[in-house]
Chain A
Amino acid sequence: GQNIDQPTEMTATEGAIVQINCTYQTSGFNGLFWYQQHAGEAPTFLSYNVLDGLEEKGRFSSFLSRSKGYSYLLLKELQMKDSASYLCAVKGFNKFYFGSGTKLNVKP
């Protein structure tokens, strides 16, 4: 079966760095996506990894290891507006699988 695991909730301090992990087991692999979703809003795209390694985009970075079925999203210089849920999604054989999301609470 398909399985995507991420922590349910995390708390971090403004200005700090936080790493959100995602492990997956899916039928096929054609890329891993991270989405941000503020409460009551639609998910918005953050990053896409299809090859192993680190992709950096401003304060956000995403890492992928296909052999380990593992990814993480790294958020630097946390801001209060980063409080949201972060969804890990894997594209298998023409099918998308979403994790349940990690709710990140950023405190002053």
Chain B
Amino acid sequence: EAGVVQSPRYKIIEKKQPVAFWCNPISGHNTLYWYRQNLGQGPELLIRYENEEAVDDSQLPKDRFSAERLKGVDSTLKIQPAELGDSAVYLCASSSQLDGKGDEQFFGPGTRLTVL
């Protein structure tokens, strides 16, 4: 079974430029998460989707970040414009509430963003 797929794996941009990350969750997983992880820190939740509905976006900086999950499958996270402080690894994860493990999350490999 394929895992969570993310692209690109690495992205280097100049500040004030836009950037987008893409995530394809595990087939059948209705819950999708976007996290940001800074070096030496744990993942910080940005947004969580249940199917196509964003049920928790309280930590998403809405002035510059946006996300969508059309048709409740793939998702895109966008930053516009990027700032130096946005440099981090952006992780996508998915889970199924039916797996009996209380929402065990499966993580993608992440996108390492560097803003110059």
Residues of A within 8 A of B (CB): 4, 30-31, 33, 41-45, 48, 50, 87, 89, 91, 94-96, 98-101
Shortest CB-to-CB span from B60 to chain A, Å, is 13
Interface centre among B33, B40, B48, B109 (most CB of A within 10 A): B40
A-B contact pairs, 7 of them (CB 8 A): A48-B101, A91-B102, A94-B56, A95-B48, A95-B56, A98-B43, A98-B44
Q: Known interface pairs A94-B56, A95-B56. Does A43 touch B101 (Cβ–Cβ under 8 Å)?
A: no
Contact residue among B42, B44, B56, B107 (Cβ-Cβ distance under 8 Å from A42):
B107
Query: Are A91 and B103 in contact (CB-based, < 8 A)?
Result: yes
Query: Are A99 and B42 in contact (CB-based, < 8 A)?
Result: yes
Inter-chain contacts of B103 with A (CB < 8 A): 31, 91, 96
* CB closest residue in chain A, given B31: A94
Q: Known interface pairs A30-B102, A91-B102, A94-B56. Does A42 touch B108 (Cβ–Cβ under 8 Å)?
A: yes
Tally inter-chain residue pairs, CB-CB below 8 A: 50
Interface size class of B (residues with CB under 8 A): 20 to 34
Inter-chain contacts of B110 with A (CB < 8 A): 42
Bound complex: CA of A96 vs CA of B104, how far in Å? 11
Query: Are B105 and A45 in contact (CB-based, < 8 A)?
Result: yes
Query: Are A87 and B42 in contact (CB-based, < 8 A)?
Result: yes
- For residues 70 through 116 of chain B, which have their beta carbon under 8 Å from a beta carbon of chain A? 91, 101-110
Bound complex: CA of A51 vs CA of B104, how far in Å? 16
B38-49 interface bits toward A, Cβ cutoff 8 Å, 1 = contact, 0 = none: 001111110010
Cβ of B20 under 8 Å from chain A: no
* CB closest residue in chain B, given A45: B104
* CB closest residue in chain B, given A50: B102
Contact residue among A31, A50, A101 (Cβ-Cβ distance under 8 Å from B42):
A101
Query: Are A96 and B101 in contact (CB-based, < 8 A)?
Result: no
Bound complex: CA of A91 vs CA of B35, how far in Å? 15
Bound complex: CA of A42 vs CA of B91, how far in Å? 8
* CB closest residue in chain A, given B100: A48
Bound complex: CA of A99 vs CA of B55, how far in Å? 22
Bound complex: CA of A48 vs CA of B103, how far in Å? 9
